[in-house]
Amino acid sequence: MAIRPDTLSLIGNTPLVRLNGPSDATGCEILGKCEFMSPGGSVKDRAARAIVEDAEASGALQPGGTIVEGTAGNTGIGLALVAQAKGYRTIIVMTETQSREKMDTLRALGAELVLVPPTAYSNPAHYVHTSRRIAEETPNALWANQFDNLANRMAHIRGTAAEIWDQTEGRVDGFTCAVGTGGTLAGVGLGLKERSQNVTIALTDPYGASLYEYYACGELRAEGSSVAEGIGQSRITANLDGAPIDTQFRVSDTEGLEQVFGLLREGLCIGLSSGINVAGAVRLARMMGPGHRIVTILCDSGMRYLSTTYNPVWLAAKGLPVPDYLADRA
């Protein structure tokens, strides 16, 4: 398709790239799906478009309506852009502790922001519950509900998984990624298993999340912590429920950062959740042995994290290793 008919059709159909360092280190072929090339800059554009189009089809969202969601990050950016393209209003609820850059980005894209104090999920003032209430109180509004709205993972069953299968001509041995909502892992997992039961699906969990223990021994239990944004889940969301997980790894931020800065030397600038995904793919490659082809997700660009992952002062303050080329600038 040389000329795309409209901007929304820029979402999806992202390329797969061979990650040379991780591939050569393991004797496997480790491929990254370049979701950072999407118009909103992340994998969440897929879920945003699918949630909106599903609601249009069911009548839950009518012309001139309002989309409401509790998120500070990539889903909000995706929803704001899809809403612009389709003529809806967007209200994003986020905690007042989120970075200035995120607030500025969402405002620049035309979203209206509602700021709430950070609280536990059990508190009715939590940003997720606040967003649901605002949607209930706003006429002609849709609560996107990315965690439990299955249109999210359907976008990955129909889109991401089908693309990976076609791009590899069905030669894919393993897939792994981390979980925020679980839409990507469950959707790609289900979509690939539909085509072949021989594909190994692995969860890559950061520290501070509870899913590694859940899939390893049936108990939701967290250990340690992570600074990675967009991933780290402590419950079985509707999107994750029924995901065909064969094996699981727990990956540290340090391991993820090694991949982030290693891949920079291949000319790729990715966020930490992508680095953690690649570290998980390396673990899966080592488990499966040389000669296998493993796919993972490059969720967003590192340029979204200049003040954190790529900032030597911030890294040092978090007790994380600072790469040499950045240490000079601290």
Q: Are 201 and 243 in contact (CB under 8 A)?
A: yes
Beta carbon nearer to ligand PMP, 41 or 65 = 41
102 among known catalytic residues: no
Q: Does 50 bind ligand PMP (CB under 6 A)?
A: no
Q: Which of 44, 102, 193, 318 is catalytic?
A: 44
Classify 240 as helix, strand or coil.
Answer: coil
> Which residue is it, tokens 């076609």?
166
Q: Does 248 bind ligand PMP (CB under 6 A)?
A: no
Question: How many Cα neighbours within 13 Å face the side chain of 242?
Answer: 10
Beta carbon nearer to ligand PMP, 201 or 292 = 201
Q: Return the residues of window 183-202 that contact ligand PMP according to CB under 6 A.
A: 183-184
Question: How many Cα neighbours within 13 Å face the side chain of 38?
Answer: 31
Cα separations (Å) of 213 from 174, 178, 218, 230? 21, 14, 7, 19
Beta carbon nearer to ligand PMP, 66 or 237 = 237
Number of residues that bind ligand PMP (CB under 6 A): 18
Which of residues 273, 296, 308, 309 is near ligand PMP by CB under 6 A? Answer: 273
Q: How far apart are CA 299 and CA 260, in angstroms?
A: 12
Q: Are 207 and 225 in contact (CB under 8 A)?
A: yes
Q: Does 44 bind ligand PMP (CB under 6 A)?
A: yes
Taking the complex as a whole, the smallest distance from the CB of residue 87 to ligand PMP amounts, in Å, to 25
Structure tokens at 266: 């291949």
Q: How far apart are CA 6 and CA 325, in angstroms?
A: 41
Q: Does 280 bind ligand PMP (CB under 6 A)?
A: no
Question: How many Cα neighbours within 13 Å face the side chain of 112?
Answer: 9
Taking the complex as a whole, the smallest distance from the CB of residue 38 to ligand PMP amounts, in Å, to 12
User: Per-residue string for binding with ligand PMP, 62-101, x by CB under 6 A?
Assistant: -----------xx---------------------------
Nearest to 52 by CA among 141, 132, 131, 156: 141
Q: Which residue is nearest to ligand PMP (CB)?
A: 230
Which of residues 76, 300, 301, 320 is near ligand PMP by CB under 6 A? Answer: 300
Chain contacts with ligand PMP (rule: CB under 6 A): 42-44, 73-74, 179-184, 229-231, 271, 273, 299-300
Residues noted as catalytic:
44
